[in-house]
Structure 1
Amino acid sequence: HVAYQANNIFTIEFKPISKEELEETKKAKFGYTGERLSLNFQDIPVRAVLQLIADFTSLNVVVSDSVDGNLTLRLKNVPWDQALDIILKSKGLSKRESGNVLLVAPSEEIAAQEKIDLEARQSITELAPIRTAFFTINFAKVTELVALFTGGDSANVNAESDSGSISTGILSPRGSAIVDERTNTLIVKDTDEVISEIRRILKKLDVPIRQVMISSRIVIATDQFTRELGSRFGVTKASTNSDGFGATSGTFAATDTIAASGLDNLANTGVATPFSVPTGASAVDRLNVNLATSGAAAGSLAFAVLTGSTLIDLEISALQAENEGEVISSPRVVTADRHEAHIEQGVEIPYLSASSSGATQVEFKKAVLSIEVTPQITPDDRVIMDLAVNNDTVGDIFSGIPSIDTREVSTQVLVNNGDTVVLGGIYEQVTRDEVDKVPFLGDIPLIGYFFRHTLESDERRELLIFVTPKILKDSLSL
């Protein structure tokens, strides 16, 4: 059957099975495929039953002299090979096939004969001449392959020179393998049989590893909206009387400027007036309320009123900003099948660290966007990818040492060759509502806006990663 889903409809399609396919399925499950026969005997010699089966199947049957005894059986319409197995098991017998010749003997006798044959082969191997063969490894590392033949760890190769000697595993007790890392050559000293087996294995294993090109597209999308409303307000007053003069303003710096000018005038002319008030860059000193918008490009309305000895300053400012951004990078990397590929971009943050002796040194912390991909090519030319994505940013600073805010996504996906998988989920939204105001005055309806600063912001940030694996053909070169 075939099952698939399209939108909200799940479909299952069934295909009828033919009689031939049904018979093949039954045979595969049953295990016996011989032509069927029927046997019904009372106290018949075992050798006679074996002769009947040999005549029925046209097999050449050799029966050991130690096979004897009688049996009673009634088998109806069963495969001949099943009937033979039942007869052999009931009498403690076993069979060995060699071409179209079938040997039947007691199980103990066959086991003893096979043991003798094995010992004879081992004796021949122990007496076989030793010769040396050189195998140049083309695509693999010789230190990795040698472990297959020695049954040990390739790390045991002598590191004092470019070669080492080991002996175990596929090698015979008299054999040894020498690794020459400089030329990536395996030197084997063993019998012809072992050398032939090693040559056969190397032919299967020393082949080019298929490669996968991992193309990634990293998109960082941002959407920011900010709205601000602020005001600046100040009252400055300076007056004289018979006892002297007085000044009122937004800050001590402003009153100090006014008082200084009055004192200078008294010393020079005997009259405190005219007073000097802060202007230009120092005009902010006159403000009682300084809650302007933070943006330099804000719209504003300002006016100043001077009545007698009183100066009133008022400014209302407003700012609305909308920002949309998209940062795109497209790194690519080629890696071998089942080997990890690593893509990383970002910064390393320096900081000072102190040791127990009091000495300081510069160390670094990474704040990077990194992708780790391990591809695995399936037999049908699809790609299984183990993916790990880290998006690290700089966090708060503690005692001069930066912290790292970490976001991580790990997954495993199966993708067709050349298809693209999209990784999302790293989505952030920050909403802020801030109000700065003068106590009591900022709460007065309408008038309170002159003593208040408001900020509304909505920031969205999303990280999207597109990963496309492409299996490279052997003839493709980059």
Structure 2
Amino acid sequence: MLEKIAQRCFVYAVAVIGCYSTSSHGAEPQAWLAQLSQQQQQHPVTLTVQEMPLQTLLQLLADDVGINVVVSEALQQRVQLRFNQVPWREAMRSLITTYQLDVRVNGSVYSITQGQPITQPGQARTMVSELLTINFANAAKLAELLASNEQKFLSADGAVSVDERTNTLILRDYPERLRTVKALLKSLDIPVKQVMIEARMVTLKSSASEELGVRWGLSPSGLQRTAAGGGLSYSRPQFEVNLPTVAAAGSLTMNIGKLHDNLLLDLELSALERENQAQIIASPKIFTANQQPAYIEQGSEIPYVESAASGATAVQFKKAVMGLKVTPQITPNDHVLLNLVMTQNTRGETVSTPTGPAVAIDTQEMGTQVLVKSGETIVLGGIFQRQALHDQDSVPLLSKLPLVGKLFSHQRTQADKRELLIFVTPTIVDEQAK
């Protein structure tokens, strides 16, 4: 028999197998072992295998003690083990427990199949189904996480589905697995902190922006400035702060300032608006979840006619807007890390295309990242626009006289340069206070 076993082990890369006829007494045999003699049960096994199919290994062990066995073809798991002077009964018991085998006795024939081992009848593996309503997270995304083959949260027999209408997970698995999954979902299904983004888009005359900068500088802790994107900035003594230098008309150079006193800001802007030195274009407020982007756009859509190859025409629109994309990330100590993307899209030239004329959109975009305290205001500047204003004063009738009419009229051209400032104030929403 040893020669027969050795030949089989050679085929499946078995390193060592040996059987010795010694006797030792162990635990009381289980019901399925009752038909075996003590000599068979205590038969020592020394065996080392690598990548042997479980079906073949069970047949070898059955041949070793001379019992009749029928092993299911489904038991093709690859086994790696090493037994050294292990009683045959313990070797079989370890395999049955590890691979959850079912052993049944029919006369003198043992049938081994996949299933719950009858050595542990009190631990029957019954699958159960549960409905779990998700309150804050996205049920579909959680289902993808649970079904991931990399994480192995569910057993091989487990399944998860989603009812998107009620944001509910439908779970089916073994009870012990469901307990683990439910604990995981409980830690993930928590309310996400929210951030209120308050933005003010203001256009100021060049002189007004400089004046506003001096006024801010009157507060020693009022304005702290940094610059990015090519703008020039410098610090003077503590009571005077200079805002960005003049950039080319229509250019986009982001300059960043930090303001602590929002009340002072509102008062200054209101005063400048009454003096016709500033114009508040928009002041939207938007709530967004932590690490979720918020979009703010101000502008218009330009219509143009698009022609198809068939000759049909359709009116299309292109956006010419000033846009701001803010993605907040809440950090410890009530600070917010802001990812800012600022865009300026303006109407360009009308170009000819094979299907007809189309409108070109001049696009400028710049991004930055700033860390601020909740409630502080970030100032984004550096967008300048120039306008030439033509005005004529004249005396009726007399200004129309030939030769001398110019003496009764006056023309003046005034260059108006304005800067767009965007004030962004992130505030962490306190749900408990609400």
Return the TM-score normalized by structure 1.
0.44
Return the TM-score normalized by structure 2.
0.49
Instruction: Select the structure that is richer in strand.
Output: 1
